[in-house]
Every structure is written in structure tokens, then in C-alpha cells.
Amino acid sequence: MTKPTGWKHTLIKWSKELVSIFILITLVSLAIDWYRSLNMPQGDAPAIHAMTLDSVPVDIITQSHEEPVVLYFWATWCGACKLVSPTVDWFSNHYQVVSVALSSGSDERVHRYMQAKDYEFPVINDSNGLISRQWNISVTPTIAVIYKGKIENISTGVTTPMGLWLRIFSAQ
């Protein structure tokens, strides 16, 4: 077998390097995600009975018995949430999404933020931090997928549309 030369050799070399870097980044991300979620609930999901900013009652346990619920913890001041929120907004048109705004100010402030960004996903404003303490949320964004009252998976930090879809799909 002859050894590739010239641009083919360089292409193969760079391809191997990119695959190695991708694998390394993936492993580090998974390790960080695992570490961040150690203190978060597992198994049975803590109940959330609340009203959204649009006065819609939310009961994630009951809702999760029909189909998976994407529970999205975020904040108006969170830089990473600015990357994830558009994905969550799109998914809210196709899946059950409940979001919890953490330390983001008054209901009016969160409502104005949602309007300015043209987001339509339902929002519970956790202005007193009760829900975030109940769930031990220490990182935004955090996404949990709940199905039949159980936490199927929790992830922290930035996710892609494919990553979110895979989390929902694996929960069913």
C-alpha cells in the first residue's frame, strides 16, 4: 500500500486531529455535565405546581404522563441561555416545554424580555428562588426531561437542537 502524499496526506492528518479534538471536547463536556448534576434530583421529579407569566397552571408531573416535558432553567442575564433559548423556543412548538426563569427580576421584567426576544415558551418566574433550591440548580442553563414523573436526564450548559432532540427521544 502506498502512503498518501501532498494535500491528501495533510487532509488525512488534519482529519485525524479534528476527530481527536472533537472526542476530547465531548468527553470533557460529559464529565463537566456529570459533575454539575451530582447534587440535582434523580429518579422522581420534584413537583412543580405554579402559574406561568400568562396565568396558565403548570403541573409537570401530570403533564409528563402524556409525553416528555422539557424543563428549562434559565435567566435573562445568562450568556449561554442566549444560545439555548432559541432552540427551546422552537421545540416548544412541537413538544411540552416549561421554563423557569431564575433570579431574573419581576414578572413584568421577564415578560418584557420574552417579548423583546419574541420567545413563546411558557415561563414560571422563580423570583424567590424556591424552585431552583428545590431542584439544586447551580448552573444556567439546565435542562431536565421528565417522563411519567421521572427525571430521564439532566444536562447543564449549552446544548444543540440535535442534543435536545436526542434527550427527548431517549426519554420516550
Contact present, 53 and 114 (Cβ < 8 Å): yes
Global pTM reads 0.81
User: What CATH number should be reported for the domain whose range is 43-171?
Assistant: 3.40.30.10
Grid cell for residue 66? 402524556
What pLDDT is stored for residue 4 in this prediction? 62
* C-alpha distances in Å from residue 155, one per residue of 16, 96, 118: 28, 17, 25
What pLDDT is stored for residue 26 in this prediction? 67
Q: How many whole angstroms separate alpha carbon 50 and alpha carbon 2?
A: 67
What pLDDT is stored for residue 111 in this prediction? 97
Q: For 94-108, what is each residue's pLDDT tens digit?
A: 999 999 999 999 999
Q: How many whole angstroms separate alpha carbon 27 and alpha carbon 94?
A: 30
What pLDDT is stored for residue 83 in this prediction? 94
Q: For 8-25, what is each residue's pLDDT tens digit?
A: 888 888 888 888 887 877
Taking 70 as the pLDDT cut, the residues of the chain under it are 1-5, 26, 29-38
